[in-house]
Structure 1
């Protein structure tokens, strides 16, 4: 009797397993295969996927091989500039691009992706006004602890509503009014560097200081408080950024060793998320009280977000609070991190090219004539603008333009099935010799002397801030801040790359110097 019961249990378990496998095959694998078939019929090929993991195993193998081949040893000046870091950070894309061309498809698990690096299709993807193309939902889910459902991460009507509130704060007329505080926020860093000098020289790691300046600017300009008050928020956001970024969060590429710690990692992320939200809410309530006690007609971004949440009929009390906190997280992070990293790359490249430091200095002397930078003089600083544009071409902080077809969508002559994620690799577009010419890997700011439209064959291939409806809202803010910070540094110091600098770009949501930027400064 017991033997019969045991045999029956085994048969039942086997039947359940068979049913599960049949369900997996019919509802998951066949669904993914149908999507791939639709793409293949349109001439879009790619590496063949395995049943359960798609191309994840192959991606991991290619990545591990690239890591073994990569060293962080010092490089000659030209090699640093010419270094094509996509081959070390995203080697699977480079390998497949050479094999399948500028458009190909691949899978991560049962999720289907399409790599698109044809300039005309990238332009159409970026400029599409349909809400059927949005940020990839699986990726935004991963970034939820960092960005909530704020403007950087949201889709559809929610995104459109948030943009309506946030965008006006970053229009150029508003940004020009922030110039004074940008100068004020930069001065303490310059004094700190001067005080650290021995016999007129100092070897300084600049990336941390640039983050503090950028954080101070965004705190004062958008939230009515200094960096010192929000220091904990920025510090914890940075910790959260590093934690999420580990183990190739983009596609779920983890080593078996790292996977053992996923539970611990999730706990750490959850704790940091709660701490950040609590700190932001404290700052919000503090700002709310300050606003009640003053009658100023000038409103900062936090006040606008507060008003937007309170007047939104679709938000209850809890949703209203989350709306405020999420958008503050977005501005705190996106508003300072990318700008600080861009400034680090600019200084690194200027360190290798002192002739461009001299040109910036000469232009500052002519434009400002010994006076402080102001809103009138800033547009006339053509040289520093060209240097920034070329730095953003060679080392754009944003690595991807990423979209998901939330419904079946047409892109050029390609029909994109619902659920397919589209990826454009920005540094590959920025270093394509067919677009930029044979000197693509050289630092040549003069290519932007007549603006972006004349700098390359396809201007739509220059996307450090994106283009179209989802253009980075902080573009004006970032460009003005970069011009001010670089102008002030170059006017006070001459500088060169430190022998301690290790060139190792790293992807941590944005492409940043993996070991920081070490520079030797000399007071002018």
Structure 2
């Protein structure tokens, strides 16, 4: 990639070598050109490096302890029930991916900031998430919430790895050494995409800093949202104030909003889209959900773990079929040998997990949606390499919020399928078109018809 040495790894054993066995020599993520253009995104846990990363990670891990995740079930369920009121108009087409993003943003907004954005309250189901000027929130000014969400959406959608991004990002893909000099020039020229991105990121950073400042001044923090827990740890000297300085707190909290909304929303949309096109899968899924108990019986965290094996298989197969983050990017910190090749320090090592997920050697008929391939009793599962399917990454750098996301997905799917089934809208393009950014997305959204179940 220009003068930047880069290797792609699409072998599960080599992925294990990179992500686990040689982690001490490859501990950091490489920083792709879209992130190089955004200092805010660089300061989150995802791209932080070396000792600062390990300190931040060890602190944040406490947020994802099983007991804390279990305590979030009622909050998640409340938002899910509110969001599904949008579906009560029967036999009507909707943009399901918009509702998924609203719901995921509300859940992570409450969990990360302790703020209810109110996006998943009943709206017209075809209304876009970008139209949030009417959002109501008991604690914040409506316009402030609207502006914050719009800035968040714009910042997220501009992190593209294709030719529709800013010129400096495109240049960074071809010649990384030239990206920052050109970005510094272009961000000063009115009308350029670099100028627009810089302006939005400055506003977003400023808004986040205000939220953090207000929360820091509140000495009576009792809620257990992510931001409050980090501030409490900082003030109790459990972590260095230098590691969690205000700008890093802002960045890592926003990172939770970004990662917890875009990826979860995409995965939820892809699951419902795929199940809608495979009625034999839908039948088995409905049977498992119905057998759990009455429709008003809310699963506990333990229930979610133990009582829905086929739902687990459906989620895994959807994540294999549409891998939300097709690449895991790493960078060597020392000279290191991988697969018999000596890689110099600073080499980018990209794990092509999207390629792994479609490799017929581990997934026969890879273009077929078949949840049973993840049944532990299935011969295919027994023969598969354990690192052929790594949708959340691998090793210490694996996604720290994966259990949070899976808990939210399971609760949502159980509640949805207790009441509704879905069919592809006639307005849904075939084949479906994808958009490639920092995460995968449906280019034109997921359009579905909602059908209320008759008990």
d(CA) in 2 for partners of 1:287, 1:372: 36
Report whether the alignment pairs 1:175 with 2:69: yes
Q: What are the residue-to-residue correspondences of 1:229-244 with 2, within 5 Å?
A: 231-244=146-159
Distance 1:183 1:303, change over 3 A: same
Deviations along 1:208-251, one digit per CA (max 9) or x if unpaired, are 11111111111112321212455543331220122231526487
Shift, 1:152, TM fit: 0.8
- Equivalent residue number for residue 390 of structure 1: 317
Residue of 35, 44, 51 corresponding to 1:150: 44
Shift, 1:371, TM fit: 3.6
Shift, 1:461, TM fit: 1.4
- Equivalent residue number for residue 444 of structure 1: 370
CA contact (8 A) 2:425 2:449 kept: yes
Shift, 1:304, TM fit: 2.4
Shift, 1:144, TM fit: 3.1
What's the C-alpha RMSD, in Å, of the aligned pairs? 2.5
Residue of 177, 188, 191 corresponding to 2:85: 191
- Equivalent residue number for residue 13 of structure 2: 120
d(CA) in 2 for partners of 1:137, 1:163: 18
- Equivalent residue number for residue 442 of structure 2: 513
Deviations along 1:339-367, one digit per CA (max 9) or x if unpaired, are 01111111110110122222222112211
- Equivalent residue number for residue 488 of structure 1: 415
Shift, 1:445, TM fit: 0.3
Distance 1:314 1:288, change over 3 A: closer
CA contact (8 A) 2:286 2:418 kept: yes
Shift, 1:374, TM fit: 2.2
Bigger Rg over Cα: 1
Distance 1:397 1:137, change over 3 A: closer
Distance 1:449 1:138, change over 3 A: closer
Q: What are the residue-to-residue correspondences of 1:312-331 with 2, within 5 Å?
A: 312-313=239-240, 315=242, 320-331=245-256
d(CA) in 2 for partners of 1:133, 1:432: 26
Deviations along 1:110-141, one digit per CA (max 9) or x if unpaired, are 11111111211011112143164311145475
Structure 1 unaligned runs (5+)?
1-107
Aligned residue pairs total 403
Q: Which secondary structure does the structure 2 equivalent of 1:520 belong to? A: strand
CA contact (8 A) 2:331 2:346 kept: yes
Moved over 6 A (4+): 259-262
- Equivalent residue number for residue 268 of structure 1: 196
Distance 1:250 1:381, change over 3 A: farther
d(CA) in 2 for partners of 1:464, 1:242: 21
CA contact (8 A) 1:354 1:495 kept: no
Distance 1:231 1:445, change over 3 A: farther
Structure 2 unaligned runs (5+)?
119-139, 175-182
Q: What are the residue-to-residue correspondences of 1:20-419 with 2, within 5 Å?
A: 108-127=1-20, 128-130=22-24, 132-137=26-31, 139=33, 141-142=35-36, 144-194=38-88, 197=89, 200-228=90-118, 231-245=146-160, 247=163, 249=169, 252-253=172-173, 263=189, 264-289=192-217, 291-293=218-220, 296=222, 299-310=224-235, 311=237, 312-313=239-240, 315=242, 320-375=245-300, 376-379=302-305, 380-419=307-346
d(CA) in 1 for partners of 2:446, 2:370: 21
d(CA) in 2 for partners of 1:155, 1:471: 14
CA contact (8 A) 1:222 1:302 kept: yes
CA contact (8 A) 1:407 1:417 kept: yes
d(CA) in 1 for partners of 2:61, 2:99: 28
Distance 1:250 1:349, change over 3 A: farther
TM-score scaled by structure 2? 0.82
CA contact (8 A) 1:165 1:304 kept: no
CA contact (8 A) 1:145 1:269 kept: no
CA contact (8 A) 2:19 2:394 kept: yes
- Specify which structure has the higher proportion of helix: 1
- Equivalent residue number for residue 36 of structure 1: none
d(CA) in 2 for partners of 1:370, 1:265: 49
- Equivalent residue number for residue 51 of structure 1: none
Q: Which has the higher contact order (CA 8 A, sep 6+)?
A: 2
Distance 1:384 1:455, change over 3 A: farther
Shift, 1:507, TM fit: 0.6
Distance 1:463 1:456, change over 3 A: farther
